[in-house]
């Protein structure tokens, strides 16, 4: 919950055209960087949502790649494969939107600790686990990612301006709902 104010701040900064880069002449780069995004119809919420989802999905992939090599549980494997399939597809669309929006190559959200973000420390920890402990931890991390993805997609659907970005948010709401419904309620 404490990260929602950060998301709102990022969205507000994007809407007002402010720069959080700390450069001496923030007005000129911000105006130039935001012009393509504004011309394409992207609002501040859209821009933040695209970057956050790219970061979250890219950080999730190593966990999903690790799972088939370490699990012997068919349900955990099926969940990881299902989530990997739609995550890769979404990443392709997110990257296209990123380019259309004229966002910078460096993602300020990459590695940012937030709910649902799988960290390198999570990956290291999971690699040390076997059996049920591995499966439970992977399921817990995937569930947290899916739940946060739903929350962010709801925000984009409510406050986003760009139609393709909002359409992707609605798609994400559907894929997350389906994936979460496959996780038994007794799972962590």
Residue 112: per-residue pLDDT:
77
In-domain check, residue 13: yes
Q: How many whole angstroms separate alpha carbon 52 and alpha carbon 103?
A: 12
In 3-state terms, the chain is what percent helix, strand and coil (to 5)?
Answer: 75, 0, 25
In-domain check, residue 72: yes
In-domain check, residue 186: no
Q: What pTM, to 2 d.p., does this model score?
A: 0.78
CB-count exposure of residue 97 (10 Å: 0-12, 13-18, 19+): buried
Residue 54: per-residue pLDDT:
97
pLDDT at 76 over 50: yes
Q: Which residue has the higher pLDDT, 106 or 152?
A: 152
In-domain check, residue 188: no
Indicate which CATH number applies to the domain containing 48: 1.20.1260.10
pLDDT at 26 over 50: no
Question: Looking at the 3D structure of the chain, how many domains does it have?
Answer: 1
Question: Which residues span the domain enclosing 14?
Answer: 4-181
Residue 40: per-residue pLDDT:
67
In-domain check, residue 168: yes
What is the b/e burial string over 68-87, where b = at least 16 CB atoms within 10 angstroms of the residue's CB?
Answer: eebbebeebbebbebbbebb
pLDDT at 43 over 50: yes
Which residues neighbour 28 within 8 Å (Cβ) at sequence distance 6 or greater? none
Q: How many whole angstroms separate alpha carbon 103 and alpha carbon 20?
A: 14
In-domain check, residue 157: yes
CA distances from 91 to 50, 84, 94, 118 (A): 10, 10, 5, 16
In-domain check, residue 59: yes
Query: Is the distance from CB of 65 to CB of 39 less than 8 angstroms?
Result: no
In-domain check, residue 141: yes
pLDDT > 70: percent of the chain: 77
Residue 11: per-residue pLDDT:
39
Q: How many whole angstroms separate alpha carbon 55 and alpha carbon 17?
A: 22
What mean pLDDT, rounded, does the chain reach? 83
Q: Which residue has the higher pLDDT, 30 or 102?
A: 102
Q: How many whole angstroms separate alpha carbon 188 and alpha carbon 177?
A: 17
């Amino acid at each position: 919950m404490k990260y929602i104010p950060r998301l709102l701040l990022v969205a507000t900064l994007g809407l007002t055209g402010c720069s959080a880069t700390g450069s001496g002449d923030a007005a000129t780069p911000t105006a130039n960087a935001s012009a393509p995004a504004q011309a394409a119809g992207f609002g501040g919420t859209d821009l933040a949502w695209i970057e956050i989802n790219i970061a979250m999905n890219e950080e999730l992939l190593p966990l999903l790649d690790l799972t088939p090599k370490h699990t012997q549980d068919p349900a955990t494997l099926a969940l990881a494969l299902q989530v990997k399939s739609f995550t890769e597809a979404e990443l392709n669309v997110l990257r296209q939107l990123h380019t259309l929006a004229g966002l910078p190559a460096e993602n300020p959200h990459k590695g940012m600790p937030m709910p649902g973000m799988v960290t390198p420390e999570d990956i290291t920890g999971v690699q040390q686990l076997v059996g049920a402990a591995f499966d439970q931890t992977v399921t817990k991390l995937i569930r947290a990612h899916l739940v946060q993805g739903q929350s962010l997609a709801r925000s984009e659907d409510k406050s986003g301006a760009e139609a393709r970005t909002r359409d992707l948010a609605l798609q994400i709401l559907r894929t997350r709902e389906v994936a979460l419904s496959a996780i038994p309620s007794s799972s962590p």
